[in-house]
Chains A and B, each alone.
Chain A
Amino acid sequence: MLNSPSKPKNLNLKGYYAGVISRLLAFIIDILIVNIVLLFIGWLVSTSLGFIQNLSSLGIDVMSLNYFTKIITIISDPFFISAFVLIIIYIYFIFFVIFSGHTPGKAILGLRIVTTEGKKISFTRSTIRFLAYIPTLLSFGIGFFWLILDDQRQTWHDTLSGTFVVYTWEAQPDEKFLKGIFADFHDQPSQDFITDT
């Protein structure tokens, strides 16, 4: 299918379905970025509120204003915080996917989301894909790790939204790295792992 076992160096997985580790790493990077963004927003809001509250020491009594008290009440509401975080995550995942076909995490790992026809993902489909994360998450990761067993390496949210995640670079396994792994797994036939894709 790909290359003969005698020439593993010529393996090129560009356009092939992406595997579990690549996708997991991309997801972790995305989560980290979202967390940093949320932390920054949180810091900005809390600093601004603290500054406004400290204005009273300068003789400007802002706390006595009704609308300011209302704003603080709304902002500190757990429901509001949850909704805000969800909206940020939604914007992050939708915005990047619509415009470039991948999130920053996926871009680093050289992955791209495409439709089952190999086309660029639309807004509607990306929204469905985002909502389809819910069953994947509720299944405690089973929905994600399903891609190991799936012939087309589709997770549940991929299947529900009709998408694939593929390599967009000249993907080649790192042979030295694999040999290092096989050194710990003497029982396994190493050549099969290098050439099987």
Chain B
Amino acid sequence: MNNQIDQNTEPQIHSQNNGTRKENSGLKSFSRLLIGTIILGMEELSDRMNKWEQITRGSANMSSSEIVQDEGQSDNFVKSRVLIQDSVKSNDISDNIQFGLIGLIIDSQTRIQASSHILMPISSTINRFTRPFINTLSRLPVVSPIQKRYASLVERGEEELNRLILLGRIEYEKSHQMAEIAIDETFDEAVDYLATNKEIQELIQSQGVGLAGEVVDEIRERAVSADNFIDNIVRSLLKRKPRSKIPPPQYGIKSGKTRSTELS
């Protein structure tokens, strides 16, 4: 689609339709936003669907290869089919209806796609047969006024269609931009709110500090354990007095609620 549309053409297009209408009415903006969001959403969804489709294909290939392996090993293929049927039967009725509907949708799509290949040649064949008759009919003098009328109608229709296409192109661009701005602003506002909200900040801080404190405590405890462990091993190997029989420091740091750095 040609995205580079001359923005000056827009007033002309609108003036043809309704010259008195205001350009930036709320309803119009809302429509643009809605269209833009749908466009962006569809684009995003399309991208994601392509990815999901690829992943699904990958996993389907894997499962089919497993089935082929089963077939190659023995005649378990029939058994696996029976197992699938059993598993279907064992499900709830609601599940069966759900799966049945999904299957119907997918199957219908496949059938329509397949039948379109058949219908196209049939349509062209019918066209080929009926064209001589239509041509003869169109040459009759009785039909010429109707034909002129028809031609003018077609011309007007084409003009109207072209106008709508041009308007659609301009609106597509505008809606796209508007939705992008709306999403960006909303996102920025949300981030600002999260960054400036004191309650959230305190929550994150307390969680972070709490976690860091727990990690430090764990490291300290393990270090103390390892201290004693290594001490005892080395001292027992060298036949020295166990650490537990050595007197503690004469001074000391009072245990309890006193600050850890306060020495007595």
Contact = CB atoms under 8 A, between A and B. Distances in A.
Contact of A193 (B229, B248, B249, B250): B229
A19 B229 CA distance: 10
Contact of B260 (A2, A151, A168, A195): A168
Interface stretch (A20-28, A71-79, A125-133): A20-28
Given A110-B260, A118-B251, A193-B232, A13 B224 contact: yes
A118 B240 contact: no
Contacts of A169: 220, 260
B223 A114 contact: no
A15 B220 contact: no
A108 interface: yes
A149 B227 CA distance: 12
B46 interface: no
Interface centre among B228, B254, B261 (most CB of A within 10 A): B228
Given A174-B222, A197-B243, A15 B253 contact: yes
B234 interface: yes
Interface string B230-247: 111111001011111111
A149 B180 CA distance: 70
Contacts of A61: none
B224 A174 contact: yes
Contacts of B235: 148-149
A8 to B, nearest CB: 11
Contacts of A173: 221, 224-225, 228
Contact of B218 (A152, A174, A196): A174
A93 interface: no
A15 B244 CA distance: 15
Nearest to A107: B261
A47 to B, nearest CB: 30
A149 B238 contact: yes
A119 B259 CA distance: 16
Nearest to A148: B234
A70 to B, nearest CB: 47
Contact of B225 (A118, A120, A148, A177): A177
Interface string A1-43: 1100000000011111111111001000000000000000000
Contact of B249 (A12, A16, A101): A16
Contacts of B218: 174
A52 interface: no
A175 B243 CA distance: 18
B252 interface: yes
Given A15-B249, A20-B227, A196-B243, A25 B238 contact: no
B232 A192 contact: yes
A169 to B, nearest CB: 5
A2 B242 CA distance: 13
B219 A109 contact: yes
Interface in A149-192: 149, 151-152, 164, 166-175, 177-178, 181, 188, 192
B244 A196 contact: yes
Interface centre among B229, B238, B244, B249 (most CB of A within 10 A): B229
B226 A21 contact: yes
A196 B218 CA distance: 20
B234 A168 contact: no
Contacts of A12: 255
Given A1-B245, A19-B226, 9 more contacts: A15-B252, A19-B223, A118-B263, A149-B240, A164-B249, A168-B260, A172-B221, A174-B218, A174-B222
6 contacts: A14-B255, A108-B216, A167-B224, A168-B260, A173-B224, A181-B225
